[in-house]
């Protein structure tokens, strides 16, 4: 009886410890949820300010103390952006610039990456080291020499001057090379036995299996060039050849006051293509990852 009585409190202590652990796990989940919610609010706050400011009248934009949600909703800022600037032209220029750079970069970067990853030739390693080392050079250091070359070619205020100097990128070459190295070489060797040339192997075997990497690089390249400000400012002097980012810098009101409502409306319109492109590419990216092994 004494031994049985001594062992009876153990299950009670075990049940109490399980309850405390369960409460602790629940508390950790709620704390983690609260932390994620707070970080999400911090990240989305600038986006909310842009959206709400775009729909505010000028009086509310310049009011103090400032308010987040507009008291009076208006579309005047969106109509003003098209009257004060050739915004449709700027939008088209941004689309041609970012899209052209993306297409050319994917083509040339993938060719160079294939040669570095799948072909054995003298100087392969040296060329790779030079490409990687060029990543450490800020593009601002080469901006003036590139501008002088573009000016000598007569490409200032042209799409050629905006696109061709960025037709290839060291990061894209290195990124695709690392992905191509992960693909099995047995596919290449089997194609060579069947008589396929290098370009046929590149086009029919390597590229179909590299769709996830190509889409990822396309997103990075397009977004970086769409949001770039310094490059269009340097290589274009005509408002008709500017992009959205460079065009928004021309907005000034009476006495040099910046119309922030109009600027936020233009920024909001500029963000929409990126959001749409990301949603579309994200779906395609997931599908391509799921079918890469089948191809």
Q: Give the number of domains in the chain.
A: 2
Q: Are 53 and 72 in contact (CB under 8 A)?
A: no
Residue 146 lies in a domain: yes
d(C-alpha 261, C-alpha 205), whole Å? 51
At residue 1, the pLDDT reads 47
195 and 230 in one domain? yes
Per-residue pLDDT of the chain (295 residues; tens, 9 = 90+): 454 454 555 555 666 677 677 777 788 888 888 999 999 889 888 888 888 888 888 888 877 787 888 888 888 888 888 888 888 899 999 999 999 999 999 999 999 999 998 888 888 889 989 998 988 888 888 889 999 999 999 999 999 999 999 998 899 999 999 988 888 888 788 888 877 788 888 888 888 888 888 988 888 899 899 989 889 989 988 888 889 888 888 887 556 677 888 888 888 888 888 888 777 777 666 655 554 444 4
Token code pair at residue 134: 């060029």
66 and 122 in one domain? no
Residue 4 lies in a domain: no
d(C-alpha 13, C-alpha 18), whole Å? 9
Nearest to 226 by CA among 92, 94, 91: 94
245 and 101 in one domain? yes
Domain range enclosing 56: 29-72
Q: Residues in the chain, how many?
A: 295
Element (H, E) at 61: helix 58-61
What is the value of pTM for the model shown? 0.79
At residue 288, the pLDDT reads 52
151 and 277 in one domain? yes
90 and 57 in one domain? no
Say which CATH number the domain at 177 has: 1.10.3720.10
91 and 43 in one domain? no
177 and 40 in one domain? no
Residue 67 lies in a domain: yes
Residue 105 lies in a domain: yes
Domain end call among 38, 72, 106 = 72
175 and 68 in one domain? no
d(C-alpha 82, C-alpha 251), whole Å? 11
Residue 17 lies in a domain: no
Tokens 């000598």 correspond to 152
63 and 175 in one domain? no
241 and 96 in one domain? yes
């Amino acid at each position: 009886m004494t031994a049985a009585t001594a062992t009876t409190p153990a299950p009670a202590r075990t049940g109490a410890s399980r309850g405390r652990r369960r409460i602790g796990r629940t508390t950790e989940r709620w704390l983690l949820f609260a932390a994620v919610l707070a970080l999400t609010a911090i990240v989305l706050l600038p986006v909310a300010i842009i959206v709400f400011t775009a729909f505010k009248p000028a009086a509310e934009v310049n009011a103090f103390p400032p308010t987040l949600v507009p008291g009076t909703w208006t579309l005047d800022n969106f109509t003003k952006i098209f009257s004060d600037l050739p915004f449709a032209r700027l939008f088209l220029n941004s689309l041609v610039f970012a899209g052209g750079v993306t297409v050319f970069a994917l083509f040339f970067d993938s060719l160079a990456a294939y040669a570095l990853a799948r072909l054995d030739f003298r100087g392969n390693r040296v060329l790779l080291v030079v490409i990687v080392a060029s990543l450490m050079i800020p593009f601002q250091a080469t901006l003036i020499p590139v501008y002088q070359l573009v000016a000598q070619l007569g490409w200032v205020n042209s799409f050629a001057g905006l696109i061709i100097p960025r037709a290839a990128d060291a990061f894209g070459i290195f990124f695709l090379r690392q992905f191509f190295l992960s693909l099995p070489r047995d596919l290449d060797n089997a194609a060579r036995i069947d008589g396929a040339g290098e370009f046929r192997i590149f086009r029919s075997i390597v590229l179909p299996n590299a769709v996830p990497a190509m889409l990822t690089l396309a997103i990075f390249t397009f977004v970086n060039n769409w949001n770039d400000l310094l490059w269009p400012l340097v290589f274009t002097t005509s408002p008709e050849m500017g992009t959205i980012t460079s065009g928004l810098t021309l907005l000034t009101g009476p006495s040099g006051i910046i119309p922030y409502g109009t600027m936020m409306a233009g920024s909001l319109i500029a963000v929409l293509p990126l959001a749409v492109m990301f949603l579309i590419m994200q779906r395609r990216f997931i599908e391509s990852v799921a079918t890469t092994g089948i191809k």
